[in-house]
């Protein structure tokens, strides 16, 4: 593994992800607001239920939990009242990072896998600086690794180290022209697992090119957005949008090779049209799931986003 290579766009340098804390700091991360209670973190949930701090009593409404009835106020007023609570806590942030084969592509500056790793690292550093707890799910065809949300920087650095080691391991395999990956881990598997481990009210960042998005992904993504804020970061490369300059090119998915002539204007139009159609379909799917869509290109400077 070429850990000595730093920020070359193919391998992840040993300090490339940890050093993004400097960019997160420069962006002016806000300090956690002053807490009203003695326990918890910087966020005061707008969900009123079984929590740490009593908020108020109000007249009972159909559907209220009978366990929360305020018997003292009920006896005093003669009308049934229920207690409302508010829970003060730090917000769990979950980073879901796709390192499957299609992510190891890039025509300018860096691979999609490198860009998504950098963006995930920056989002995590910003969350830690806000006082949030950060965890993640890292998956490829041969790996599924989970890190539960914690506010510990050492814990987060271990997560970043795992991203780097797994990413560079795959690149080393590809350098040997071994593009066939046997495994069962998919985006839908990762989203399903996130649903099982995430706490309601969490912030979830999914970074992927969504090349394997299907009905199962749609189901799990829709369920996630019911109780969490979900940001989808769609990672792409300029070459996926626009055909290369005039010439004859070979493209391969690792199994077969296809030749096309980019000098043909009809081929270039079909190339661009195919991308736009796929993008529109995926955009509609993500919006249907009520997730927030953010575009991320391999040529973007994540430190300025």
Which CATH number covers residue 134?
3.40.50.410
> Are residues 82 and 95 part of one domain?
no
Instruction: Give me the pLDDT at residue 43, please.
Output: 52
Taking the C-alpha atoms of residue 239 and residue 260, their distance in angstroms, rounded to an integer, is 14
Averaged pLDDT, groups of 10, the chain, 305 residues long? 63 95 77 42 46 71 83 92 70 95 92 98 96 95 92 96 94 78 78 94 96 95 95 97 87 77 89 95 96 96 87
> Are residues 179 and 123 part of one domain?
yes
Taking the C-alpha atoms of residue 89 and residue 30, their distance in angstroms, rounded to an integer, is 16
> Are residues 77 and 191 part of one domain?
no
Range of the domain at 78: 43-89
Q: Which two tokens stand for residue 225?
A: 């957005």
> Are residues 107 and 168 part of one domain?
yes
**Structural domains counted in the chain:** 2
> Are residues 212 and 71 part of one domain?
no
Opening angle at CA 153, ends 43 and 185, nearest 5: 90
Q: Which two tokens stand for residue 166?
A: 């797994």
Asked if residue 59 belongs to a domain, the reply is yes
> Are residues 95 and 84 part of one domain?
no
> Are residues 24 and 155 part of one domain?
yes
Asked if residue 292 belongs to a domain, the reply is yes
Taking the C-alpha atoms of residue 270 and residue 155, their distance in angstroms, rounded to an integer, is 47
Taking the C-alpha atoms of residue 256 and residue 265, their distance in angstroms, rounded to an integer, is 24
Instruction: Give me the pLDDT at residue 302, please.
Output: 93
């Amino acid at each position: 593994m070429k850990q000595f290579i730093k920020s070359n766009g193919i391998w992840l340098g040993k300090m490339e992800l940890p050093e993004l804390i400097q960019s997160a700091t420069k962006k002016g991360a806000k300090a956690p607001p002053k807490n009203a209670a003695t326990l918890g973190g910087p966020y005061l949930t707008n969900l009123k239920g079984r929590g740490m701090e009593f908020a108020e009593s109000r007249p009972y409404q159909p559907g209220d939990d009978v366990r929360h009835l305020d018997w003292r106020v009920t006896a005093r007023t003669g009308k049934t009242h229920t207690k409302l609570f508010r829970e003060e806590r730090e917000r769990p942030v979950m980073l879901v990072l796709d390192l499957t084969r299609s992510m190891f592509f890039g025509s300018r500056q860096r691979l999609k896998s490198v860009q998504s790793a950098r963006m995930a690292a920056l989002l995590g550093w910003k969350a830690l600086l806000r006082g949030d707890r950060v965890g993640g799910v890292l998956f490829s065809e041969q790996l599924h690794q989970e890190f539960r949300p914690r506010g510990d920087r050492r814990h987060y650095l271990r997560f970043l180290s795992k991203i780097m080691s797994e990413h560079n391991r795959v690149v080393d395999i590809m350098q040997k022209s071994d593009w066939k990956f046997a495994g069962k881990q998919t985006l839908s598997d990762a989203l399903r697992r996130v649903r099982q481990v995430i706490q309601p009210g969490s912030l979830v960042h999914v970074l992927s090119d969504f090349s394997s998005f299907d009905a199962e992904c749609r189901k799990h993504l829709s369920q996630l957005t019911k109780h969490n804020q979900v940001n989808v970061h769609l990672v792409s490369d300029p070459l996926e949008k626009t055909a290369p300059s005039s010439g004859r090119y070979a493209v391969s998915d690792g199994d077969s090779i296809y030749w096309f002539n980019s000098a043909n204007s009809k081929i270039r139009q079909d190339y661009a049209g195919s991308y736009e159609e796929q993008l529109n379909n995926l955009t509609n799917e993500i919006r249907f799931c009520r997730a927030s869509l953010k575009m991320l290109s391999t040529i973007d400077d994540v430190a300025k986003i």
